[in-house]
Amino acid sequence: MRIAWALALRDLRGGLRGLRLLVACLFLGVTALAAVGSLSSSITAELNTRGREILGGDVELRVAQRQASAGERAAFDRLGTVSESLRMRAMTSRTDGGASLLAELKSVDARWPLYGRLTLAPGARSDRPRGFDATIAPALADALSLRIGDHFRVGQAELRVIGLITDEPDRVGEGFTFGPTILVSPQALAATGLVQPGSLFTARYRVRLADAADTTKLADELDRRFRTGGWEISDRTNAARGLRRFIDRLGEFLTLVGLSALIVAGIGVANGVGSWLDQRRPSIATLKILGASSGTVFRTYLIQVGLIAAGTIIAGLAAGAATPALVAMVAADALPLPLRLSLYPQPLLTSAAYGVLASLLFSLIPLARARTVSPATIFRMRVEPFRRPSWPTLVVMAMAGLAVAALAIGTASQPLLSAGVLAGAVLLLLVLAGSGALVRRIARALPRPRRPLLRLAIANLHRPGSQTIGLVVALGLGLTMFVILAVLQTSLATQIERTVPATAPNFFALDIPTTDIERFRAAVHAESRAAKIAVVPSLRGTVVAVRGVRVTDMKPVPEGAWILNGDRGITYAAHLPQGSEIVAGRWWPADYAGPPLVSIEEQGARALGLKPGDTLTISVLGVEMETRIASIRRVNWETMGFNFGIVFAPGTLEGAPHSYMATISLPDAPESRVSRALVKAFPSVSLIRVKDIVGQLATIFDQMALAIRAAASVALASGVAVLIGAIAASRRARLYDAVLLKMLGATRGQILAAQAIEYALLAAVIAILAFAAGVAVGWYIVIHIFEFRWTPDWATILATLGVGIVATLGIGLLGSLALLNARPARALRQL
């Protein structure tokens, strides 16, 4: 081993020249993984560190549509200091009847915030809202042109702006919201008249514990105790659960994209190490002549690859670890909360492990081949026939491959998805490699064209040492990822564009009091005769037991059982809602008046294995009801109407205090006129413009697509590195061709044309493969995973593919330009 180390260190004096491709590809792959891991860690760390501030307390208890009873409040007070806040959607408008906007109205008591601090922009008249004063988010001030001291209207109250919010400490913990915040006192909230029996608001009770107890244990205890009342409990260790889950999932998905990029990079590693060892053949043969065993040769070059890979991995980890700081500098506004900049060892260790395993996996074959270089190579250059790597090599490679898979699947929260994506990537690799081999075979079998340039171009695709397979795989995989993304993005965008105008209503109206329903209809029709209004009762309910088993005892909650996630919107109906179809059981008669029956949405039912006849215990406004499932429904969510997961039969909820929701379609009147009239006549009703929701969804999707595209770019960049490496590796052969052609009278233009033909042929093959594979995978994801309609925009997809192909192969051609300037006489002497 000592001699191998000595030889390796001496050989490394030759520099990294031959191993640039290994360095470039491994650096890209490891950087991508380390960057994704560090980014999601710095968000999660911020959530963890500021857990109390984000949650607003050590423990939070929240309930929908009601406040705590005196008994419940007394129980909370015994835990420590309690702060109450209520949050609801509310329409707000200028006092002069001008612009109106949907906002998030939040009342806070004098103890709020228990942790953190409310920060207001300079110029505020007070540090917190009191009486009929309000502090508002700047977006609301902009939309309604409000300044400090101005008045505005919410419900029946007229409030005064006393400050603009720059930081609302528990904002992230309260989840997705529709509009800008208005912070008011409980007195002001009461004056709005919006809190009525049945109106949709959330009451939160944050507790600052008297002693630093185990909050998770306490939250579990509280959960058992208060679950029956429809309470949901969080503690400081799991604040912003939704955001945390989203970050985790996105992080995992991006890691998988990064892993696919690392596989492309791996091809670069294999090609880089292979061509580097090819350059070293005379040295390897010389070492063998001097008595070095094949083991010594193998170890000598393994040490070198190992040292360079280690250096590259460390550099990649450093770049990845620095990425959050870079993102914080350039894109802080796009993030849900500030990043906690620090060094996170766990994602770096995982990325380093991936880097080491990929280096081992992809450099073993060329290293094993170097082991078998015959010393007789010194006497005659001959192309060594490809030998199957030895069993020990194959075993080590298989173990490295399995370790990569185990690491990816073992660290995932959705192992099945990770395994599926990995299996898909490997399958895609095999298909691309098979296609590359087929291209070589076809090129070899083609009749030789009479035109020499075309003949040369085709010969370059199959001549010994040609890297057609590696290029098809590397560029093919990168471009396939881009096609998949284009398919997904355009399918979703087209779907939103096509569906929204056709079937979506113009407005959702929430919190219509039961007594005002007819007046509301009349008001809409007064503005728009042809308006269509669909009205449904609306309540909130929490599933507390399934077939008699308490949800609190179900650990873990089954994946996809979304109907168990906190309180959900529920309704009751005599007739099957539009856009739903029964897949099991039967819909109840319109005049049903028996024991409570419910109809459940198909996917939620499937996740819990529910079937007609099973029981569900549902808590509505603190009252538990045992219901029996009458039917399972398939819901077409695309209609953008009101679709409820749980629908009650008539006869159970009518007596409970509740409000109505409505969808309003306006074929013959401008949205602004109708909205102005409704806001004025019904100050307690919230109006949501559908276009705004679609806009928000599109923005979120665009941001996610940007992140995914950034990770996929690493795959394409690795592909380009492989291409450049392939050109460099075949430089000698290409230079020889170019020089001979020149000697025989070919112009530089003709030589360039031959190269262009070769790359165009390769481009065509890769484009067809990437298109076919990308569309097939994209179709599967759109139809079977997202369950959307198949509506890709072919022009955008083809343009994406075209730009990718032209850019990558343009680089190839640029790389060939240097060959054109070679002087024949000098080059022939050197070759």
Partner 1 sequence: MTSPLIDAAGVALTLGRGSARVDILKGIDLSVSPGETVALLGPSGSGKSSLMAILSGLERADAGRVAIDGLDFTNLDEDGLAAARRGRIGIILQAFHLLPTMTALENVAIPLELAGVADAFDRAGAELAAVGLGHRPSHYPQQLSGGEQQRVAIARATAPRPALIFADEPTGNLDAATGASIMDLLFDRQCETGATLFIITHDAALASRCGRIVEMRDGVIHSDQRAG
Contact (CB, 8 A) for 90 and 686 = yes
Please give the Cα distance from 673 to 756 (Å, whole number).
61
376 touching partner 1, by CB under 8 A: yes
Residue 294 interacts with partner 1 (CB under 8 A): yes or no: yes
Per-residue binding string, partner 1, 6-25, x by CB under 8 A, is: xx--xxxxx-----------
Residue number, 287 or 708, with CB nearest to partner 1: 287
Closest CB 19 distance from partner 1, rounded Å: 13
What minimum distance in Å lies between the beta carbon of 248 and partner 1?
48
- Part in contact with partner 1 (CB under 8 A); list of ranges 119-127, 205-213, 217-225, 288-296: 288-296
Q: For 411-537, where are the alpha helices, taking DSSP H only?
A: 415-445, 452-462, 468-503, 517-527
Residue 375 C-beta: closest distance to partner 1, Å:
4
Report the alpha-carbon distance of residue 612 to residue 113 in Å, rounded: 46
Which one of residues 88, 103, 207, 287 is an interface residue with partner 1 (CB under 8 A)?
Answer: 287
> Could you say whether residue 393 binds partner 1 (CB under 8 A)?
no
- State the nearest-atom distance from the C-beta of 826 to partner 1, in Å: 18
370 binds partner 1 (CB under 8 A): no
CA distance 192 to 684: 8
Find the shortest distance in angstroms from Cβ 464 to partner 1.
14
- How many other C-beta atoms are found inside a 10 Å radius of the C-beta of residue 357? 21
Residue 270 or 285 with smaller CB distance to partner 1: 285
Q: Name the minimum Å distance from CB 798 to partner 1.
A: 47
CB of 15 to partner 1, least distance (A): 9
Among 296, 350, 503, 750, binds partner 1 (CB under 8 A): 296
**Among residues 94 and 463, whose Cβ is nearest to partner 1?**
463
What tokens does 138 get? 């700047």
Residue with smaller CB distance to partner 1, 374 or 514? 374
Any contact of residue 378 with partner 1 (CB under 8 A)? yes
In this complex, which beta carbon is closest to partner 1, that of residue 8 or of residue 761? Answer: 8
Tokens for 556, please give them.
């873990």
Determine contact, residues 647/528, Cβ cutoff 8 Å.
Answer: no
Closer by beta carbon to partner 1, 208 or else 288? 288
Residue 749's contacts (CB-CB under 8 Å, 6 or more residues apart) are none
Beta strands in 326-450, from DSSP E residues, in sequence order: none
| Minimum distance from residue 398 beta carbon to partner 1 (Å) | 25
Compute how many other C-beta atoms are within 10 angstroms of the C-beta atom of residue 369: 18
What is the x/- site pattern for partner 1, positions 783-802, by CB under 8 A? --------------------
d(CA 398, CA 389): 12
Judged by beta carbon, residue 6 or residue 807, the one nearer partner 1 is 6
Instruction: Tell me how far, at minimum, the Cβ of 382 lies from partner 1, in Å.
Output: 8
Segment contacting partner 1 (CB under 8 A): 99-107, 294-302, 403-411, 640-648? Answer: 294-302
**What is the nearest approach in angstroms of partner 1 to the Cβ of residue 12?**
7
CB of 287 to partner 1, least distance (A): 7
Q: Which of 54, 35, 697, 698 is nearest to 337 (CA)?
A: 54
Binding piece for partner 1, criterion CB under 8 A, among 149-157, 285-293, 554-562, 681-689: 285-293
In the bound state with partner 1, the residue whose beta carbon lies nearer, of 296 and 565, is: 296
As a whole number of angstroms, the distance between CA 126 and CA 135 comes to 9
- Residue from 221, 223, 230 nearest 618 by CA: 230
Here the tokens at position 599 are 């109809």
Q: Does 744 bind partner 1 (CB under 8 A)?
A: no
Number of residues interacting with partner 1: please give it, by CB under 8 A: 29
Burial class (CB in 10 A: 0-12, 13-18, 19+), 360: buried
- Compare residues 288 and 734 and give the one whose CB is closer to partner 1: 288
CA distance linking residue 83 with residue 169, whole number of Å = 14
Closest of 266, 304, 317, 278 to residue 22, by C-alpha: 266
The binder of partner 1 chosen from 187, 237, 286, 414 (CB under 8 A): 286
Rg (CA), the chain: 33
The binder of partner 1 chosen from 48, 166, 237, 374 (CB under 8 A): 374
The DSSP-derived string for 786-818 is S-------HHHHHHHHHHHHHHHHHHHHHHHHH
Could you tell me which stretch among 3-11, 199-207, 334-342, 413-421 binds partner 1 (CB under 8 A)?
A: 3-11
Query: b or e along 29-43 (b: 16 or more beta carbons within 10 Å of the residue's beta carbon)?
Result: bbbbbbbbbbbbbbb
Identify which range of 44-52, 372-380, 585-593, 650-658 contacts partner 1 by CB under 8 A.
Answer: 372-380
Under the binding rule (CB under 8 A), the answer on residue 379 touching partner 1 is yes
**Complete DSSP assignment for 709-726:** HHHHHHHHHHHHHHHHHH
The only residue of 126, 293, 672, 696 in contact with partner 1, by rule CB under 8 A: 293
Q: b/e per residue, 443-471, with b = 16+ CB within 10 A? A: beeeeeeeeebbebbbbbbbbeebbbbbb
Which lies closer to partner 1 via its Cβ, residue 286 or residue 552?
Answer: 286
Chain residues that interact with partner 1, rule: CB under 8 A: 3, 6-7, 10-14, 282-283, 285-296, 372, 374-376, 378-380
